[in-house]
Structure 1
Amino acid sequence: MSYIQVRGVEHYYEWIEQPSGSQSKPVMVFIHGWAGSARYWQSTAQALSGRFDCLLYDMRGFGRSQGKAMVRFPQLNAIASEKVGKADVEVKPQTELTYELEEYADDLAAFLDSLGLVKVYINAHSMGASIATLFMNRYPQRVEKAILTCSGVFEYDKKAFEAFYKFGGYVVKFRPKWLSKIPFVDQIFMARFLYRSIPAKERQAFLEDFLVADYEAALGTIFTSVSKYQAEIMPGEFEKLTVPTLLVAGEYDKIIPAKLGKRAAEFSNNVELVVMKNTAHFPMLEDVDTYLKVVGGFLN
């Protein structure tokens, strides 16, 4: 297990095929989605490790990475005040970080700098794919090619978004650790995300990652990843893409429906869209062979 300080916050990372001194293989960085961790990318990284040195990491506040940051996001001010005393609030951490997705894109840049990586390939999922899109437009010279798994452009709906915030806040607040010990809870928890079954070990890992996610990071990224602001800027972000990009959508994805991926791909000639049949929000785990075939074709 390896840790590195990124902008004052301890981040967990791991290599699958550690780069040699000769740098004989290019590096592919894997970015997970909301309330997840690098764990669910391990099997995909293993499969691609013959061609790439695969770098996995847990984003700030998720998995095994720390989540302490300066809370400047308005919706979280009241929450922060309730959780810590006034004296503690006035003590600023080493870096002032928010939960805006642009901040996570800058985290990635600092992470790569810390490891001395100049240019990489990216494979990112869900919220991580939005972060990757922002990263590619802020640092286009640092990305050779990118794979966005389950991403898209959505339209702002005030009532729907407010209902989502309310439900999301409730889910994040009530996460008893003992929940993972109840039989079949992992199946219930993952039911909305899947069309095909995945191994029990993978389902359990998802549930455990959700339960240990940092409270402020989990709640903050709910507000920043699904927001009026993101709905307004993401069409432009896809339109600006200059990096060759593959967008993989799941045919039956309920979280980010395939039609939102199609909408995103329409904004740029640099985005190639593939809709994987009989999969939902985790096509790389639901149909491993097809996913690797699609990705391999794009990388070639």
Structure 2
Amino acid sequence: MPYLNLRGVEHYYEWMKKPSGVAKPIMVFIHGWAGSARYWRSTAESLLDQFDCLLYDLRGFGRSCGKPTISQVGEAVAESKSTSAQAEALAELSYELTEYAEDLLVLLDELELQQVYINAHSMGASIATLFFNRYPQRVKKGILTCSGVFEYDEQAFAAFHKFGGYVVKFRPRWLVKIPLADQMFMARFLHRSIPKSERIAFLQDFIDADYDTALGTIFTSVSKAQAEVMPQEFAKLTVPTLLVSGEYDKIIPAQLGSQAAKLNDKVEFALIPNTAHFPMLEDPDSYLQRVQEFLRVEGVR
């Protein structure tokens, strides 16, 4: 399996391509919290006539679960000829979403990709939004699937963090073998059914996620700071962006996506009926039709 050392951490990545006589643009896929690139494969497969697709696992999730060690950090610094200030930054990698945006920049640099399309989901969509504003020259067009802006509620956030801590702590490896565990685990995320193999893969990714990362990103992605920052980030987007929401999404309700899109005329909003937090899996035909319409505006065939 292919890996790249990004800022001291081994990151899993994979290419999906269909042979063609012409060069194709590249679409990068970013997954959400406690997931992996696996759930993007069917979407990427459907776009291979138009794109070469790059999928990768975020630091601490999927097959990128290694943590940076002092020796790895030293090697990464030596290879990149970093300054002492950069070395300190490497040694102090945090779970802030801006750090994950920097990981993406290094990935593109390592693979010598100058400009790409990006399709990102849930927490990954927040990372992508931050990336769009920091490095707009690197993004041709963006798709944010199940994203939005939310207001800070101290009691609700505290309750969410407490519950999230319990969920992350109680993840016995035998859970995946319990009958119907996959259905119960995915019930809150779905409105329509998806294949059992997909549900099991989601549960396995959740079980395999690094503890510190899973917990740390709960606190950084659902926080007072994030609630204050994200409306500003959406408002200043210059990258043409499609924001897709599932009609019955309980994790990031469609209303929050609509509110985010209204902050900027560069953001186009699309609602996929009768889906929840994974519209690309629950109704792939409707999802892909909307994505294709958005891409065709720029002449991608």
Determine if the alignment matches structure 1 residue 26 to structure 2 residue 25.
yes
Query: How far apart are residue 8 of structure 1 and its match?
Result: 1.0
In structure 2, C-alpha distance between the alignment counterparts of 1:42 and 1:297, rounded to whole Å: 20
Determine if the alignment matches structure 1 residue 47 to structure 2 residue 58.
no
- Name the structure 1 match of 2:161: 165
In structure 2, C-alpha distance between the alignment counterparts of 1:149 and 1:168, rounded to whole Å: 22
* 8 A Cα contact 1:33 1:127, kept in partner: yes
- Name the structure 1 match of 2:276: 280
In structure 2, C-alpha distance between the alignment counterparts of 1:119 and 1:107, rounded to whole Å: 16
Query: How far apart are residue 95 of structure 1 and its match?
Result: 3.3
Query: How far apart are residue 44 of structure 1 and its match?
Result: 0.2
Determine if the alignment matches structure 1 residue 37 to structure 2 residue 33.
no
Query: How far apart are residue 96 of structure 1 and its match?
Result: 2.2
Query: How far apart are residue 93 of structure 1 and its match?
Result: 10
Task: Specify every segment of 5 or more residues in structure 1 that has no aligned partner in the other structure, as ranges.
Answer: 71-91
Query: How far apart are residue 19 of structure 1 and its match?
Result: 8.6
Q: Deviations over 1:259-298 (max 9, x none)?
A: 0001100110000000110000000000010001000000
Secondary structure of the residue aligned to 1:275 is strand
Task: Specify every segment of 5 or more residues in structure 2 that has no aligned partner in the other structure, as ranges.
Answer: 70-87, 297-301
- Name the structure 1 match of 2:198: 202
* 8 A Cα contact 1:67 1:217, kept in partner: no
- Using structure 1 for the length normalisation, give the TM-score: 0.90
What does 1:49-68 align with in structure 2 at a 5 Å threshold?
Answer: 49-68=48-67
In structure 2, C-alpha distance between the alignment counterparts of 1:141 and 1:16, rounded to whole Å: 24
- Name the structure 2 match of 1:78: none
In structure 1, C-alpha distance between the alignment counterparts of 2:96 and 2:25, rounded to whole Å: 29
Aligned pairs, how many?
A: 278
Matching residue within 179, 183, 188 for 1:183: 179
Q: Deviations over 1:35-91 (max 9, x none)?
A: 000000000000001100000000000000034259xxxxxxxxxxxxxxxxxxxxx
Query: How far apart are residue 107 of structure 1 and its match?
Result: 0.4
In structure 2, C-alpha distance between the alignment counterparts of 1:98 and 1:69, rounded to whole Å: 11
- Name the structure 1 match of 2:13: 13
- Percent identical across equivalent pairs? 71
Query: How far apart are residue 18 of structure 1 and its match?
Result: 7.2
Q: Deviations over 1:76-125 (max 9, x none)?
A: xxxxxxxxxxxxxxxx9963200000000000000110111010000000
CA root-mean-square deviation: 1.6
Q: 1:97 to 1:290 in 2, by over 3 A?
A: same
Structure 1 stretches of at least 4 aligned residues deviating more than 6 Å after TM superposition? none
What does 1:1-300 align with in structure 2 at a 5 Å threshold?
Answer: 1-17=1-17, 24-69=23-68, 95-300=91-296
